[in-house]
Amino acid sequence: MAPRTSWKGFIKLSLVSVPVKAYTANNSSEEIHLNQLHKDCHQRVKYQKVCPEHGELASNEIVSGYEYAKGQYVIIDQSEVAKLRKESDKSIQIDGFVKSEDIDPLYFSGKTYYLLPDGPAGGKPYALLHKGMCDAGVHAVAQIIMSGREQLVVLRPVDDMIVMTIMQHKAKVKGIDEFEDELQAMDLSDEERALTATLISATFIPEFDFGKYEDEYVKHMTKLIQMKVDGKEVVSQPDTEEPKILNLMEALKRSVAEAQAASGHSPAAPKSGEKPSKKAAPSTVKKTTRKKKSG
């Protein structure tokens, strides 16, 4: 089955318009959904909307409301909500371009779309925008109206395609400073830092293949379901052993040795007290103390 378009419109950059169509990058076909059943007869459980005073309600008897105080609600009519929604002008309006490293993936929402040129007229401007972003090493910050609300998005070149990712607004992401009190300043010895650098080097992946990682939950659930359908007994997996708590230096040394053996090379481990290079070992980590607001 051919993928279905999620959206059609234009990428707008000043006076340039690029006709595009969007396809969701998220593949939901691999998900496994379980249904809730009655334990005795295995019939699907149905949910009814019930008022504690008047019993079951029909859909036309239900309204939406916001609790502004305990037990106090203001009723919000859907026609009022509709007035707040912006009419979609079917455009992805580029506000400007930023360096790719200036966009923190922390703000990615997980909703990503593939943008493709829509029709022959879109081919050349699409290719120019894609090539331009590649050459400059930049991403585009833009806004689009989807699902009746304005969304902040980032456009970036991936292979030969332009990809659009919906961003979360800053107010929706907890700030790192909320958790900095959990961190403590640590004194890191030269040997510890050098061993860590060696371990990272020994486990470095020069050509990362994301495809080799599978959704283990889906794989195991598929196997479990097939076993149940076939009437086979489900065998429990053996428990994994709890990791032994080692001295940090001992753990680092053993880890380096194992990683080097697995990679087939064994660069000399740093000697005790040996100073690592500046590139491999930055200055000792220090905690930045946040000034608390008085009052």
Helix, strand or coil, per DSSP, at residue 31? coil
Please check whether residue 43 is in contact with residue 50, taking contact to mean a CB–CB distance below 8 angstroms.
no
The Cα–Cα gap between 142 and 272 comes to 53
20 and 113 co-located in one domain: yes
195 and 141 co-located in one domain: no
The Cα–Cα gap between 89 and 148 comes to 11
278 and 253 co-located in one domain: yes
Q: Does residue 110 sit within a domain? A: yes
Dihedral sign for Cα 13, 18, 21, 23, please.
negative
Q: Does residue 156 sit within a domain? A: yes
Domain boundary among 170, 194, 217: 170
Question: Quick one: which H or E segment has residue 263?
Answer: helix 248-263
The Cα–Cα gap between 92 and 153 comes to 9
Domain of residue 265 covers: 184-204+248-288
The CA angle 9-162-25, to the nearest 5 degrees, is 85
For residue 157, the domain's CATH number is 2.40.290.10
- Beta strands (DSSP E) in the chain are 7-13, 16-24, 50-51, 55-56, 64-69, 72-76, 91-99, 108-117, 138-146, 149-158, 161-167
25 and 125 co-located in one domain: yes
Q: How many domains does the chain have?
A: 2
The Cα–Cα gap between 283 and 53 comes to 67
Domain boundary among 170, 194, 220: 170
Question: Could you list the pLDDT tens digit for every one of the 295 residues in the chain?
Answer: 568 888 999 999 988 999 999 999 887 766 788 899 999 999 999 888 999 999 999 989 999 999 999 989 999 987 887 777 666 678 999 999 999 888 888 888 889 999 999 999 899 999 999 999 999 999 999 999 887 778 899 999 999 999 999 998 888 888 888 888 888 888 888 988 888 888 888 888 788 776 776 767 777 778 888 877 888 877 776 666 666 656 788 888 888 888 888 876 554 444 444 444 443 344 434 444 444 444 4
